[in-house]
Structure 1
Amino acid sequence: MSRATGVLDGPAVAAWAREGVRSLGAVRRALDRVNVFPVPDADTGTNMYLTFLDGARGLPDDEGGDAGAGQMLVRLARGALVGARGNSGVILSEYLRGLAVALAAHPTVAAPALADGLASAARTARRAVARPVGGTILTAADAAARAAADALMDEDADGTAGPDTSRGAAGAVRVVAAARDGALAAALRSRGELDVLARADVLDAGALGLTVLLDALRAAVGGTLADGPDGPEGPQGQGAAAVAPPAGVSEVLAIMSTTDPAPDARPTPADTAAPPGGTRSGPDDGGGAFEVMFVVDATSAPADGARAAAVDAVPDLAVRLRAGLGEVGDSVVVVGGELTAEADTAPPPAVERGAHGGAHGALWQAHVHTDDPVAAVAVGRSALADVPGAALRQVRVRHLVRHDGPAPEVEADPSAGAVAAPTGEPPGAPVGVVAVTTAPGLVADLARADAVVLLREPGAETDVPALHRAVVDAGRRHVLVLPGDALDPATVGTLRDAVREDGVEQLDVLDAPTDLHVVAALAASQLVEAAGPGRVASARAATTHVRVARAAVPGVWTTAHGALPDAVSQALAGVLAGPAEVLTVLADNDVDPGLLEAVAARAAEHGAEPVLLRSGRTGAGVTFGAEPPADAGPDRTETTR
């Protein structure tokens, strides 16, 4: 079946979502291979794909029913905002939000409004970046908007415009086709605008990704999408093997095949490092060792006077976040805000996947590259102070792994459809790891150990949709989860089923209910090969053997008191009752250093090596984890005093 309305309506948005997922899925690995800016970490294509995939999953299964284009775009944008990954994904989500805000009140979108919407999308995306730079997805978005406006003027000038606002049956198609051509032209120029691209002899991956999405929009508006045997290609990949790649995808892949970077041409961290006594040459050069992302959720703001205060604080929140994150890192992007209530009259289906909130809330997604993840999270928490009812969610930390050569070639499996994990992963590939902790002070070390880290508020329930995304972000067919919480079997089963749809074939969720279980398991897993069952077995053994106890330190205790507080002494004696080779101590910020010295001395008396860690949390709690020698049997205990 084909459709050719010449306007963007609800079904056309649904068709764009399907085609965009399919198109980005076809080019994601090729885009990853040419990703050199802002960080050569080979994930731009994957991040854009996963972001748009979460946006598509925010749409109703019935293609919207009676929903108009504006309503569908709002839902697409909200899903993408909450599911945004990486620098490129965050910018893409804001591009979609700008389009949705401009067109929210339109059940159908004709050529003039569509051109205006593309201009709004470009402006909104550019404003989200703390220090924009040329030769990137932002440049391509600007070029697409200009080309769309020019096409609209040309149509008026050559007399093809009809008597109504549609500017003729082909008006919207011509506008989007021109936008796509404008984005591609900008991508082709990108090598001459950004030195890092010229040195690597590649085109900008983000600009090429936007070109592919605009080509999918052109096909959706024009009704030229092919159907597979079971209907149009969708997020679950039905009929994928029977549908040829879109022409626009083939063109982009052909262009990229001539620009793959040579291993010695790709930039290294030194290429984007600051010169002595100076600043880095590019604003989004990604100099920080960690990528930190979080969602600021104000969808639960109260409906009384406090709600008005929250709304008043909305315009300044993004500004404060950008300024604060700019002081602790670079590659700063803050996107989001309120989506108009008129277009979003009911909570979107994406709520089930963690798109918190419904009709009248505001959401922001923040992204920064930094050497101090704790400081970045503190910026987010500080920004919440003036927004009643707001919360920090989905705090993710990832260690940035820079590739000195091209990203590994991974053969796409066309039968896999729209899955998130790599297809065609070779045998013996490493096991991905997700670690959940309530201790900000641990996130850097956990991330350095190759884990995707989720930071959970103490006492809060595990955010299962956020955990789902983190599993996908691990980028492996086999993923190990250290939940830092006691997950019930039903939740684990639901999570396992959900990630299987995203191509994660094996998910091991260990019984790791505390921060120190997570630390012990991850440390043990680092002592074996990253691939195969050995890593999981080693982590599981560590969670079984470690003895954990927690105690509260009286607020009046100091070194002058001499003896350890009773609760601390009893907890320590409990974990040291059996053989102990290592004693890990996780202390909250208000615990006196003298107490830690006394605990270390007690551990040494028992022949255990003390490892002292700060949780990064306010308070005076201390947690002990005693690990027996490797040849000792399981003797797991957990106590709180």
Structure 2
Amino acid sequence: MLEVLEAVDGDALQRWGQACVDRLTLRCDEINNLNVFPIPDSDTGTNLLFTMRAAMDSVTRNTGDSASAHEVAMAMSRGATTGARGNSGIILSQVMRGLAVSSADGPFTAATLRASLELAAGLVRNAVSVPVEGTIMTVLDCAAYAAGRCAEDASISEVARAAADAAAEALAATTDQLDVLRDAGVVDAGGLGLVVMLDVLVGVISGREPERTFARSEPSRDVRPTPTLASEQYEVMYLVADSDDERIAELRTRLGAIGDSVIIVGDGDGGWSVHVHCADAGAAVEAGLTAGALSRVRINCFALDAASHQVVEVTHSGIADRAILAVAEGDGAAALFESEGVIVLRCDEPISAIQLLAAIRNVAHREVLVLPNGALSAHELVAVSVAARDANHEVVLLPSSSMVQALAAIAVHDPQRIAVDDAFAMSECASATRWGSLRIADERALTLVGTCEPGDGLGLIGREVVVIEKDAEYAGTQLLDRVLGSGGELVTMLVGGNAPTELIDHLASHVAQHHPGVDVMIYPGGQLGDLVQLGVE
């Protein structure tokens, strides 16, 4: 006898999620083959599958064996929002969010299932800038409407079945709602994915999934639209944090002006997932930079396959049209970089991603190698790099976390090499340069090696404090012994604006006495944060 659930608890919800992954895996190619709207890129099934996998991976990482339905749903919502692929994936994440919000008071009953579908449909409507009927959104609306019309005393099995049947009926109607679907003779790909998931829910609750067939599972080859270089488009996705509703509304407007298929959804916890189709991927990322902190920037080119068939003849001779842009603090450091022909962006005050982006765009050379020198976080640099690439610039950000690493990289720069080889050589030199810094603590703080007090000398290797001493000179010699502990032939000292002359003399003497054979190069830097930056090669 089949077991029919009266409510869906955390375990049943996990079984539903995993069953959705399994079923989407089996039907991924079928759903991909239906994909003709909004772009015929044959990836809707893949996007739904990846999004659902991200949801279940989040459950595995963040919940235990006895997790409640709400805990499971919250984990699924977070995972789906941060791991969403494509517009169908973002819409699916809002179904997960509807489940999470509606399950706050306990297991899923008939009433909470109705509420979750209605909430999800509303969230999707609000997220899509230009709603188009005959898509997954329409199918979700019909499922929610049918669930809401069920009798108050209907069981959760009856509500789930009503929603799934209505979704299937709406899916069949999508063929006549969109011209592109009618011409191809297919149903909407995303809508089919949603029907599959609702049918799986019916199976988990009632023990038996509905059996359904649709007239066509693949569009006619004669009418399938194909992307061309003339209509080249990009799909741009990223996450936004540290923002607010007003800035997100402005972002939606800006993206709507440069592209279409704009979808912005919130995770309910201060984060947003953004999706747009546009011809200028850089402009889409730049718009995001003005809205908040970006991460997980992902760009897909719809015309990539067509472009791969073109043969482009590339010739190279002489000195490349290339510039190096370095972020620098202090007059001395800026002069050092400029003497090597490097364009300098000063960071005596903290700089923003927008400022770095503007500096790159102002460079009058096609190839730009950027030495960020620790001025911005990794996710900000990725966003800047993506936004900066356009018809006028090819941009490569090099892994320099400090000015001394950047100086080492510049020493091996060769403008007669092609950009990728030059960037590789410079990156290798920068990453091979061990670096540290000596500074004075300005407040009491807990570090990996203990608690420092204001006025203590701090020795750092990279970003981590490894030495705390009352005397700054002694802290400096301890730091030198650490950075030279695994060898080295040259120590570069970039002297800060507040460093006493006797301190630098003492450090240089320490190297001569305790590390024979190691050369010392001393340059005025003028930076205010560090008394001295050390680079070891």
Alignment of 1:113-124 (within 5 A): 113-124=112-123
**Equivalent residue in structure 2 for 1:362, among 259, 270, 280:** 270
Distance apart, 1:590 and its partner CA: 3.4
Gaps of 5+ in 2: 315-319, 343-355, 369-390, 398-405, 431-493, 495-537
1:12-27 equivalence runs, <5 A: 12-27=12-27
Aligned to 1:194: 178
- Three-state SS of the structure 1 residue aligned to 2:276 is strand
Q: What corresponds to 1:55 in structure 2?
A: 55
Aligned to 2:263: 333
Higher relative contact order (CA 8 A, sep 6+): 1
Matched, 1:37 2:37: yes
Aligned counterpart for 2:225 among listed residues 261, 267, 277: 267
Within 5 Å, which residues of 2 pair with 1:26-105?
Answer: 26-60=26-60, 64-101=64-101, 103-105=102-104
Distance 1:331 1:6 in 2: 39
Q: CA deviation at 1:398?
A: 1.3
1:50–1:555 distance in 2 versus 1, CA, 3 Å: closer
Structure-2 residue corresponding to 1:208: 192
Match of 1:397 in 2: 299
Does the aligned pair in 1 maintain the 2:175–2:182 contact within 8 Å? yes
Q: Which amino acid aligns with 1:145?
A: A
Alpha-carbon distance, 1:393 to partner: 0.8
Match of 1:4 in 2: 4
Task: Specify whether residues 571 and 181 from structure 1 end up closer, same or farther in structure 2 by C-alpha distance, changes over 3 A only.
Answer: same
Q: What residue in structure 1 maps to residue 384 of structure 2?
A: none
> Per the alignment, do residues 63 and 173 of structure 1 end up closer, same or farther by CA in structure 2, a change over 3 Å counting?
farther
Match of 1:520 in 2: none
Provide the C-alpha distance between the structure 2 equivalents of 1:551 and 1:318, rounded to a whole number of angstroms.
31
Deviation at 1:370, TM superposition (A): 1.0
User: Aligned equivalents of 1:627 and 1:3: distance in 2?
Assistant: 73
Deviation per CA, 1:244-291, whole angstroms, max 9, x where unpaired? xxx55x63xx426x3411212112458xx9xxxxxxxxxxxxx76111
Residue identity in the other structure for 1:613: H
Do residues 182 (structure 1) and 166 (structure 2) align?
yes
Tell me if 1:590 matches 2:492.
no
- Unpaired runs of 5+ in structure 1? 162-166, 225-246, 274-286, 299-309, 339-360, 385-390, 405-447, 451-524, 529-545, 558-563, 573-586, 600-610
Q: Which residue of 1 aligns with 2:253?
A: 323
Matches of 1:91 and 1:594 in 2, distance apart? Answer: 40
3-state DSSP of counterpart to 1:362: coil
Q: Is the 8 A contact 2:241 2:270 kept in 1?
A: yes
Residue aligned with 1:60, SS: helix
User: After superposition, what is the alpha-carbon deviation per residue over 1:583-629, rounded to whole angstroms, capped at 9, x for unaligned?
Assistant: xxxx97437979759x9xxxxxxxxxxx9836499xxx998664659
**2:87/2:275 contact within 8 Å kept:** yes
Give the direction of change, closer, same or farther, for the CA distance of 1:149–1:396 in structure 2 (3 Å limit): same
AA aligned to 1:182 is A
Find the counterpart in structure 1 of residue 234 from structure 2. 290
Structure holding more strand per residue: 2
* Closer/same/farther in 2, CA of residues 131 and 200 from structure 1, 3 Å limit: same
SS of equivalent residue, structure 2 residue 214: helix
1:108 aligns to 2:66 (yes or no): no
Tell me the alpha carbon deviations over residues 365-404 of structure 1, each in whole angstroms, 9 at most, x when there is no partner.
00001111121112212122xxxxxx21101111113889
Distance 2:237 2:185 in 1: 30
Task: Determine the C-alpha separation between the residues in 1 that align with 2:134 and 2:78.
Answer: 27
Structure 2 CA distance for partners of 1:565 and 1:134, relative to 1, 3 Å: same
TM-score (ref. length: structure 2): 0.60
For 1:149, give the aligned amino acid.
Answer: G
RMSD: 4.3
- Provide the rounded CA distance (Å) in 2 between the counterparts of 1:109 and 1:613: 53
2:291 pairs, out of 383, 386, 393, with 383
The aligned counterpart of 2:214 is 255
CA contact (8 A) 1:381 1:392 kept: yes
Alpha-carbon contact 2:51-2:93 (below 8 Å) kept: yes
Partner residue in 2 for 1:277: none
Letter paired with 1:398: N
Q: Deviations over 1:81-132 (max 9, x none)?
A: 000001111111122212322x131321211221122111111112110010
CA contact (8 A) 2:143 2:166 kept: yes
Partners of 2:65 and 2:289 lie apart in 1 by 39
* Alignment TM-score, normalising by the size of structure 1: 0.51
Residue-by-residue CA offset, 1:354-373 (whole Å, 9 max, x unaligned): xxxxxxx3221000011111
Percent same amino acid at aligned positions?
34
- The question of whether the paired residues in 2 share the 8 Å contact of 1:98 and 1:125 is answered with no
CA distance in 1, matches of 2:361, 2:41: 41
d(CA) in 1 for partners of 2:147 and 2:77? Answer: 21
